[in-house]
Structure formats: structure tokens, C-alpha cells
């Protein structure tokens, strides 16, 4: 995945979610560092099992109606349950959670969910349709970070065990949106007693930063935005899969210290290490390397007022054929994959790996000749200090510069601080840009923003009306119901984008996670990174 909510943090504004060290402290301030040693997972002197996770905080709140930052989503997933979820790392099909079943109407406008009997909040009270309606209306109408997820969606309860979500126009992405921790269900009575309302006057955040009002396997014990967050086991958890750890400590630690901590047994999990940092890890540690859902891409402005060079379609073809994708993967490291299209490899509708562009220097030179441009020079802009999954944009930009020089294109690198680069990117001022897109929700519809007249399309100067056939195809695809049909339609749309758009998908960098040998059940998830309730101990 509009400059809304998490899009402000991770792509529309593209604040450096993975900018290691930008916010990080060395697991100390405010909340103090954990005294729980990693060895054996036992709390210091107490016999309780404690899991220590080091990560670089991107955290604003524990209020599910306001959170959309990566660290907040980890906390929200542990403390609040949603109507639907995903089975492990598989984001191609939503599965029941607080709802025992769901059905999408044939017109794609209404999702009907039957609530699961027996689900309870941490205080033992039952989860009701009233709680669901209040919670989702609060998210939508409070105008917090995740409110865009329910834009134009009406929530109702036609029966004591039934909830409906209805959109004015087809929205087959809704089942893929509902698992987002930002849509966690609150105990409405407790929340209302502490200032919660379904409008902008809501004042429950302070309470929800100190206590949990959810049905999840964990509860908040202590919360510090810059130091650490401690979760405690919900001893009244209603679900079958009871949490293994009595406590989970998330500490705000810069990447270099994360590496040291997990190596010396001061933590169990390190979430933000680069490819270089996970190299040569001791055999006693587990290293999980998974392609992330972040897709790094090039854009070529189609606005002739910005550039008469990049708006030339044959120039874009020359760039697409001139990039050495295998070389970029070497820079990104083991676990990274080429992005064959804008939709990441783990999602419904992703193109197969062999559909990705390949380097063809002679073809690139031929396309450049057809463009009528002679020895063109362009500026490539990118944020100088931004890293995505530990990967800096600088070496990628330098490699692209060298690749295109072989084709006959001179690329002047113009790195800028994030705030400056963002301004140019968001306002469509870049001639050529190097950026990334991570999903707001794991549904292919989140990538329709790359079409003409849409959010990212406009950033590349690709205005509405630039390709009416492609725009009409996007409208048609957005309304399709049925996973098989959607899968085919989105794959076909990406094939057309690859041939006609100003965007060149490059790579999905790897998500490196290192754990102690005692930790089991860890799977990288593109929405909440890791589900701490799934983690066990040998």
C-alpha cells in the first residue's frame, strides 16, 4: 500500500521504517532494559518464561484504533484479536479468528461474518457483535492512523452473532483488510468507561497505552515509546493455542546492538539485521531469510515539464532493458528476490519469478536509438539515509548508474535527506526516482495506486487519461470477486504495467530474523512482522 495512516509512515510519506538507528536507543530509557536472560527463556530468578525481542522501534501508540507503525502492529497482534486473520505467513487466503466464518457477496460489496461463540476478553466478558460494531466504527470515525482501511464501509449487526461490512462499491479486498491489527476488537464497555468514543473526541489512548481491553493471548504490562514494551500472558485467554511465554519484552535497540545481544544470549530475537549483519552467525543461532513484502522500484516521470527525456516511452524501455537485476540481487543479499511486478511474491496475483525483466544491453541501446535521444543525462533522486530491510539505497543507485552508462545513458545521482526527497517524490518533481512500496494490507488492490491518475502514478507524472484502456482495466479488476479470477486478472494487469508504465520493479530485499535455538514457530509476516503468540520454546 493515498497519503493515509501507515502510508504516511512507510510509503506515501515513506518515513524510514527500516532506518536502523533513526529512533533506536540501546534498550534502556524509561522502561529500562530487561533482566531476563535469553538462555532457556526463563525470567530472572522467577521460573517464568520470558521472551526478549530486540527491534528498532517505529511506535506511536498501543491503541489499536490509532496504530499503524510496524512495532505497534506487533503489539496489536498480540493483544487484540481481529475478525479474520492469516494462517502463519500465508497471506493468500484469510481465515476465521473472532469470526467463525465469513462470506463475500456476489457483487463484492458486503462481507457477512458469523461470530465465534465462546470468545472472551481478558476480563472474562464475552466478545459480542456490539463490541465489534463499536470497535470498527471507532477506527473509521475517530480518524486515527488505520481509519482509511474502512473508508466508505458501513458496519452493522443484523443479529446477535452476525456482523456485516458493506461498501458503496465493490470491495473484494475487505477480507484481506480485516486481519490488520489496527482493526482489533475492543471490550467496548471497558473502553467507553475510559474515554472511548466512535468519533474524533475519543480520549481512550492514554488508558489503552497502559492496559489492554482486548481478547488476545497477551496483555500490556508496561509501555514506553522509546525504551521497551512488556507484554504479559493473558491467563484468561479463551483460544486453544495458549501463549507459551509468561512475558514478552520488546526492546528498542539499534541494529548493531541487536546483533551483539542475540549472539551473547541477552535476547532471543533480533528483527532488524542487514544481510551483512547476519553473515557468519554462530551455528547455535537460527537465521531466517525471507523475501520481504517491500518492493523497490524505479520511476520515470511522464510529465514533459519535468523531463522530456524520461517521458519518452522508448527511453523507459531502454532503462528497463538496461538494468542488471541479477547484480542488484547480489547487492541485496541472500533471501532477496527480483520483483517481477509491483505485487510482492507472497501475495495473491503476484507474477511468477520468470516473468521478471531481464537485462538486454543491445536491446536497451536499440530502444534508446529509437527514442531519438542522443547521450541523454538524467537525475536519479532517492533518500540518502533511508534503508529498507537493512539495505541502503546508495549502492543500488550506484549500480543502476553503472548499468545505464553501458547503454549510453548518463545518470547523475542526487541523494537528499528523507524530508527533501519525500517532498519531491510526493509532489511529482522527480525526473527519475528510486523508492519502495510496502503493503497497507496484503491484497493486490493495494497496488492499483500505480495506475495513471492514482497516488503513485501521479507521483510519476502519469496523469488520469494517460492510458484510458489501462485505467478502465484497473477499474474492472478492482471489482472482480473470486480468488482465482482475481489472481489471473491482477497478473494480467501487471504484465501490461510492465510493458506500458513508467515504473520498473527491481527487487524485494530480504527480511533477516535471527533467533536463539530455543525459539520455535517463527514466521515472517508482511503485516505484523512476527506473531509473538505463535512462538514457542524448545
Task: Residue 83: give the domain boundaries.
Answer: 5-288+512-537
Which residues is 270 bridged to in the sheet?
Answer: 54, 514
Domain check: are 59 and 129 in the same one?
yes
Place of cell 475510559: 194
Domain check: are 396 and 284 in the same one?
no
Domain check: are 235 and 333 in the same one?
no
Domain check: are 257 and 222 in the same one?
yes
Helices (H), 247-312: 255-264, 275-278
| 319 three-state secondary structure | helix
- Contact by Cβ (8 Å): 401, 381: no
| 59 three-state secondary structure | coil
Domain check: are 107 and 221 in the same one?
yes
Domain check: are 172 and 104 in the same one?
yes
Q: How far apart are CA 538 and CA 518, in angstroms?
A: 5
Residue 88 Ramachandran class (φ > 0 left, ψ -120 to 50 alpha, else beta) = left
Domain check: are 191 and 326 in the same one?
no
Domain check: are 227 and 315 in the same one?
no
Domain check: are 138 and 14 in the same one?
yes
Domain check: are 183 and 238 in the same one?
yes
pLDDT values of the chain reduced to their tens digit, one per residue, 538 residues: 333 333 433 333 333 333 333 333 233 333 333 334 444 443 333 467 999 999 999 999 999 999 999 999 999 999 999 999 999 999 999 999 999 999 999 999 999 999 999 999 999 999 999 999 999 999 999 999 999 999 999 999 999 999 999 999 999 999 999 999 999 999 999 999 999 999 999 999 999 999 999 999 999 999 999 999 999 999 999 999 899 999 999 999 999 999 999 999 999 999 999 988 999 999 999 999 999 999 999 999 999 999 999 999 999 999 999 999 999 999 999 999 999 999 999 999 999 999 999 999 999 999 999 999 999 999 999 999 888 988 999 999 999 999 999 999 999 999 999 889 999 999 999 999 999 999 989 999 999 999 999 999 999 999 999 999 999 999 999 999 999 999 999 999 999 999 999 999 999 999 999 999 999 999 999 999 999 999 998 7
Domain check: are 218 and 363 in the same one?
no
Count: domains in the chain: 2
Domain check: are 310 and 270 in the same one?
no
Q: What is the CATH number of the domain that holds 274?
A: 3.40.190.10
Q: What is the CATH number of the domain that holds 321?
A: 3.10.105.10
Residue 472 phi/psi, 5-degree rounding, is: -65, -35
Q: Give the pTM.
A: 0.89
Closest-CA residue to 150 (of 142, 138, 141, 140):
140
Nine cell digits for residue 295: 518492493
Closest-CA residue to 196 (of 141, 123, 252, 158):
141
Amino acid at each position: 500500500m493515498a497519503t493515509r495512516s501507515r502510508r504516511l509512515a512507510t510509503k506515501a510519506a515513506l518515513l524510514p521504517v527500516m532506518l536502523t538507528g533513526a529512533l533506536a536507543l540501546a534498550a534502556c530509557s524509561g522502561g529500562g532494559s530487561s533482566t531476563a536472560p535469553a538462555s532457556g527463556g526463563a525470567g530472572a530468578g522467577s521460573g517464568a518464561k520470558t521472551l526478549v525481542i530486540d527491534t528498532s522501534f517505529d511506535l506511536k501508540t498501543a491503541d489499536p484504533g490509532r496504530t499503524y507503525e510496524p512495532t505497534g502492529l506487533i503489539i496489536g497482534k498480540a493483544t487484540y484479536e481481529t475478525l479474520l486473520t492469516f494462517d502463519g505467513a500465508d497471506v493468500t487466503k484469510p481465515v476465521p479468528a473472532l469470526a467463525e466464518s465469513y462470506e463475500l457477496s456476489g457483487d463484492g460489496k458486503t462481507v457477512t461474518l458469523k461470530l465465534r461463540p465462546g470468545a472472551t476478553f481478558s476480563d472474562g466478558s464475552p466478545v459480542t457483535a456490539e463490541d465489534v460494531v463499536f470497535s470498527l466504527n471507532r477506527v473509521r470515525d475517530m480518524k486515527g492512523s488505520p481509519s482509511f482501511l474502512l473508508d466508505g464501509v458501513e458496519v452493522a449487526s443484523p443479529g446477535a452473532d452476525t456482523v456485516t461490512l458493506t461498501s458503496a462499491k465493490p470491495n473484494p479486498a475487505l477480507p484481506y483488510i480485516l486481519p490488520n491489527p489496527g482493526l482489533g476488537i475492543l471490550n467496548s464497555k471497558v473502553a467507553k468507561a475510559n474515554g472511548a468514543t466512535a468519533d474524533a473526541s475519543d480520549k481512550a489512548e492514554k488508558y489503552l497505552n497502559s492496559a489492554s481491553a482486548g481478547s488476545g493471548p497477551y496483555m500490556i504490562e508496561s509501555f514506553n515509546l522509546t525504551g521497551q514494551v512488556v507484554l504479559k500472558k493473558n491467563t484468561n485467554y479463551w483460544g486453544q493455542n495458549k501463549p507459551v511465554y509468561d512475558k514478552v519484552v520488546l526492546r528498542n535497540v539499534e541494529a548493531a546492538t541487536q546483533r551483539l545481544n542475540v549472539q551473547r544470549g541477552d535476547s532471543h530475537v533480533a528483527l532488524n539485521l542487514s544481510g551483512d549483519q547476519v553473515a557468519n552467525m554462530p551455528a547455535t543461532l537460527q537465521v531466517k531469510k525471507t523475501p520481504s513484502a517491500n518492493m523497490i522500484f524505479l520511476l520515470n516521470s511522464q510529465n514533459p515539464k519535468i523531463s522530456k527525456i524520461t517521458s519518452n516511452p522508448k527511453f523507459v524501455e531502454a532503462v528497463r532493458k538496461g538494468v542488471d537485476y541479477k547484480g542488484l540481487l547480489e547487492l541485496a543479499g541472500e533471501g532477496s528476490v527480483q520483483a517481477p511486478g509491483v505485487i510482492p511474491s507472497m501475495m495473491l496475483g503476484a507474477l511468477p519469478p520468470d516473468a521478471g525483466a531481464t537485462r538486454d544491453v543491445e536491446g536497451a541501446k536499440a530502444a534508446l536509438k529509437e527514442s531519438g535521444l542522443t547521450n541523454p543525462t538524467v537525475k536519479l533522486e532517492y533518500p540518502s539515509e533511508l534503508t529498507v530491510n537493512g539495505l541502503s539505497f546508495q549502492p543500488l543507485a550506484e549500480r543502476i548508474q553503472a548499468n545505464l552508462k553501458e547503454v549510453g545513458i548518463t545518470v547523475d545521482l542526487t541523494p537528499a535527506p528523507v524530508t527533501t526527497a519525500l517532498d519531491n517524490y510526493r509532489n511529482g518533481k522527480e525526473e527519475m526516482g528510486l523508492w519502495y512500496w510496502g503493503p497497507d494490507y496484503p491484497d493486490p488492490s493495494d497496488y492499483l495506486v500505480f495506475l495513471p491518475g492514482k497516488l503513485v502514478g501521479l507521483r510519476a507524472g502519469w496523469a488520469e487519461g494517460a492510458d484510458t484502456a489501462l485505467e478502465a482495466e484497473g477499474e474492472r479488476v478492482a471489482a472482480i470477486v473470486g480468488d482465482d479470477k482475481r489472481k489471473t486478472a491482477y497478473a494480467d494487469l501487471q504484465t501490461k504495467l510492465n510493458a506500458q508504465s513508467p515504473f520498473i520493479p527491481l527487487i524485494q530485499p530480504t527480511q533477516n530474523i535471527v533467533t536463539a535455538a530455543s525459539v520455535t514457530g517463527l514466521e515472517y509476516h508482511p503485516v505484523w512482522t512476527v506473531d509473538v503468540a505463535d512462538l514457542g520454546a524448545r
